[in-house]
C-alpha cells in the first residue's frame, strides 16, 4: 500500500517497467486521387495523402486527397498543397 486518499480510496504502489517495443510496418492499399486534385504530382515526387480513417484498414482501393506534394523524397521543395500549386 502506498497511501490512502482523503476520500478513503487505497492507492497501491506500482513498479512499472518497459517490457520492450516492436516496430510495426505495413504497406498501405492503393489510393485513388482524382485528376483535378493531382496538381504537381510527377514521377519521383513525394506525396502525403489524407484518406478516410476507416479506409486505412480496408482491403480495397480507397479514395484520398493529396495534402502536400514535394519535388523529391527529401521533402525540401514543396510544390503543391491541397490541390493548389505554390
Cut 0.85: pTM above it: no
- Other residues' Cβ atoms within 10 Å of the Cβ of residue 64: 21
- pLDDT the model gives residue 55: 59
- Other residues' Cβ atoms within 10 Å of the Cβ of residue 80: 21
- pLDDT the model gives residue 57: 62
Distances (CA, A) of 17 to 1, 21, 35, 60: 19, 12, 50, 40
> Measured between alpha carbons, how far is 82 from 86 in angstroms, rounded to an integer?
10
Return averaged pLDDT per consecutive 10 residues of the chain, 86 residues in all: 82 74 75 86 90 68 86 92 90
Task: Tell how far CA 20 is from the center of its chain.
Answer: 23
Amino acid at each position: 500500500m502506498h497511501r490512502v486518499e482523503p476520500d478513503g480510496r487505497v492507492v497501491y504502489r506500482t513498479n512499472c517497467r518497459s517490457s520492450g517495443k516492436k516496430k510495426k510496418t505495413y504497406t498501405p492499399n492503393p489510393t485513388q486521387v482524382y485528376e483535378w486534385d493531382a496538381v504537381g504530382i510527377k514521377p519521383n515526387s513525394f506525396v502525403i495523402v489524407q484518406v478516410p480513417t476507416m479506409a486505412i484498414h480496408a482491403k480495397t482501393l480507397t479514395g484520398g486527397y493529396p495534402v502536400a506534394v514535394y519535388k523529391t523524397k527529401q521533402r525540401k521543395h514543396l510544390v503543391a498543397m491541397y490541390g493548389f500549386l505554390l
